[in-house]
Structure 1
Amino acid sequence: MTREPTSRTEAPMTVISKQRLALGKAALDQNQSPVTLQRLNQEQFQKFRSFIYDQCGIRIESNKLTLLSNRIRRRLVVGDFVDFDDYYRFLISARGSTELNGFLDAITTNETFFFRTEKQFDWMKDQWLTEQIALQRQGKRAPELRIWSAGCATGAEAYTMGICLAENHYRLNDWSLQILATDISEEALTTARDGVFKERTIDAVNDRQRKRFFTKVPSSDQWKVRSTLRESVQFKQHNLLHRLDARPFDLIFIRNVLIYFDEQSKQKVIQNLIRSLADDGYLVIGPSEGVYGMLQSLQRVTPLIYRKSAKTPSTPDVKLRKGGAS
């Protein structure tokens, strides 16, 4: 990354020299770059926690200083920044938007698996699809299904949805089927679009499904999603704290995402998701989201599945406080 010099308040030269000499000596002793030895101090930690919260609503726990240090340090090396303060000044500057995606990629977790919590996909195939087909035959809905995988990470959930629909294609002739998968991380979305996954990620995919929807990458433990399945999913970057500009969805999955948000941010995300649901649409959550008290306007189908009624009342906008990561 090429950066213009940033204005900074100069510390005394003797202090800078001692700090850099100490880091340099330690780095030489361990055959490492001085940057790789740096660790956030408490003041820096609080600044980055607040910045992360303001950008995407994710709350970094107070005991995650070492973890956050390790993840941000990667960006220092990539961008040739001197230290954490240098990097923070750049992030909050007018030019910091060019680095924001890389920063968020570094601090978010994108591990995911095909058919995770498989019972929810069984419900999708056996109950939800059957219900939608019956409604269409009764003339109560159009032959169209819109599905959203919110916080899709590297795409395993969205591709699993695609497999479920493809395996029921004989029941969905002439239907318009749309799967949207969104995440805040561009790096995760790039992986999702490429559709290459390690063996352990597709461990729950059976042999018949592997043969139909994947090809083995030679001399590796990786599998590539076939083009027919890749083309069934649209991937898009989106911050869940913002309303999605799209027509309502019949089914929304949000699983293992909100565990990283504080209560106020969760309320904002849930509000946006409910607004994006069509009347009689369903919201599927993960077992660890911690949002049960926020779903009272929806009809509870199971502990992890909720339905929006046409009578569901609208709610006032949730306003997030700035720097609420204390």
Structure 2
Amino acid sequence: MDPVELNEDEFTRCQEFIYRMSGIRVPKTKRSLLSSRIRRRVKAGGFDGYQSYLQHLTSHQGKKEVACFLDVVTTNETFFFRTDKHFDWFRSQFIPQVVREAQVGMRSKSLRIWSAACSTGEEPYSLAVCLAENQLRLRNWTLKIVGTDINAEVIQKAERGAYDERAVKGVDDKRRKRYFTKQAGDSQWYVRPALKDMVEFRRHNLIEPMEVKPFDCIFIRNVLIYFDRESKKKVIGNLISRMVDNAWLVVGPSEGIYDMLGDLKKHSTFLYQKVK
């Protein structure tokens, strides 16, 4: 018989394991949701029930299963240009500013942007649209957007660059025609190659450092609300370590990190800068 719901002990074990692996706290109110998601892995692996699955997951033999487990239990809900004012700032203030700095020799003609916890890719591709709309200003620049997420499945979807109508609801007709393609009879909108070429996707756990070149701007929105205070501090420390001097951090409205940002200068409720 298929397992119906995690019992209290099983749910606690899952909570502790998820926290240890990702820093995310799953509240008790999510018990039914978590049960239904884990049930997929129980069935896929042919396990007798939750107990045998959890025993395998936490064993040496279950190391490969950990990524699949985290894929099904993490939440992913996003769409293009979510929170317009963040992208308005990026397009109309950030980009002109860095262009002016390059013109007077204060910086090189290169930009590195990190979309942290990017889910299925709507955020980094939205940033790519903003860069494309400034292509004349950014002519001969080296542009790179890195999108990361702990969920390997959503990273694969992001790399594919195919989206339904709900995901592109914030994209006007002019942008759809210019930056997407759609075949007759197909319900999906496909990101054009010119945008895809700007974005690199990779799997990454935010509570672990990412050993890459630092960034000029980092977007991390609507994800830290799932972390407890200790995990948030780890994540913020990792982000700040990957910011160049004068880089910008764009955060969601309810992340609860205002007192964890060290020497970052606050410019608004969503915008912080790593001042020299």
Same topology, TM > 0.5: yes
Inter-partner Cα distance in structure 2 for 1:82 and 1:218? 46
Describe the SS at the equivalent of 1:288.
coil
Take 1:49 and 1:65, find their aligned partners in 2: how far apart are those partners? 10
Counterpart residue number, 2:81:
115
Shift of 1:217: 4.1
Instruction: Name the SS for the 1:168 alignment partner.
Output: coil
Q: CA deviation at 1:63?
A: 2.1
Task: Determine which of 173, 193, 207 is the counterpart of 2:139.
Answer: 173
Q: Residue type of the partner of 1:49?
A: Q
TM-score normalised according to structure 1 size: 0.83
Q: Following the alignment from structure 2 to structure 1, what is the Cα–Cα distance between the partners of residues 151 and 183? A: 25
| 4+ long deviations beyond 4 Å | none
C-alpha distance in 2 between matches for 1:198 and 1:237: 23
Deviation at 1:296, TM superposition (A): 3.8
Equivalence map 1:136-151=2 (5 Å): 136-151=102-117
- Pair 1:194 & 2:165 matched: no
2:151 and 2:204 map into 1 onto residues whose CA distance is 8
Equivalent AA in structure 2 for residue 138 of structure 1: V
**Which secondary structure does the structure 1 equivalent of 2:88 belong to?**
helix
Which residue, out of 34, 37, 48, partners 1:71? 37
Report the identity percentage.
Answer: 46
State the secondary structure of the residue aligned to 1:171.
coil
Name the structure 1 match of 2:266: 300
Give me the whole-angstrom Cα distance separating, in 2, the residues matched to 1:95 and 1:111. Answer: 32
Is the contact between residue 148 and residue 252 of structure 1 (CA under 8 Å) also seen in structure 2? yes
Question: When the two structures are superposed, what TM-score results if normalisation uses the length of structure 2?
Answer: 0.98
Task: Please give the alpha-carbon distance, in whole angstroms, between the structure 1 residues aligned to 2:63 and 2:45.
Answer: 14
Query: Residue type matched to 1:285 in 2?
Result: V
Cα distance in structure 2, aligned partners of 1:297 and 1:151: 23
Mapped pair 1:58 → 2:24: yes
Which whole-Å deviations, capped at 9, do the CAs of 1:176-200 have from their partners, x for residues lacking one? 1010000000000000001111101
Q: CA shift at 1:220, angstroms?
A: 3.7
| Shift of residue 221, structure 1, vs aligned partner | 2.6
Report how far residue 77 of structure 1 moved.
Answer: 1.1
2:128 counterpart of 1:162:
yes
Distance 1:273 1:105 in 2: 22
Local SS of the residue matching 1:121: helix
Paired position in structure 2 for 1:249: 215
Identify the residue that residue 231 of structure 1 maps to in structure 2.
197
Q: Which range is displaced more, 141-150 or 210-219? A: 210-219
Q: Which runs of 5+ in 2 are unaligned?
A: none
Q: CA deviation at 1:38?
A: 2.1
Equivalent in the alignment of 1:17: none
Structure 2 partner of 1:23? none
- Is the Cα contact below 8 Å between 1:152 and 1:158 reproduced in 2? yes
Give yes or no for contact 1:258–1:289 (8 Å, CA) kept in 2.
Answer: yes
**Alignment coverage as a number of residue pairs:** 276
Is 1:272 aligned to residue 238 of structure 2? yes
In 2, the alpha carbon distance for the partners of 1:95 and 1:118 equals 45
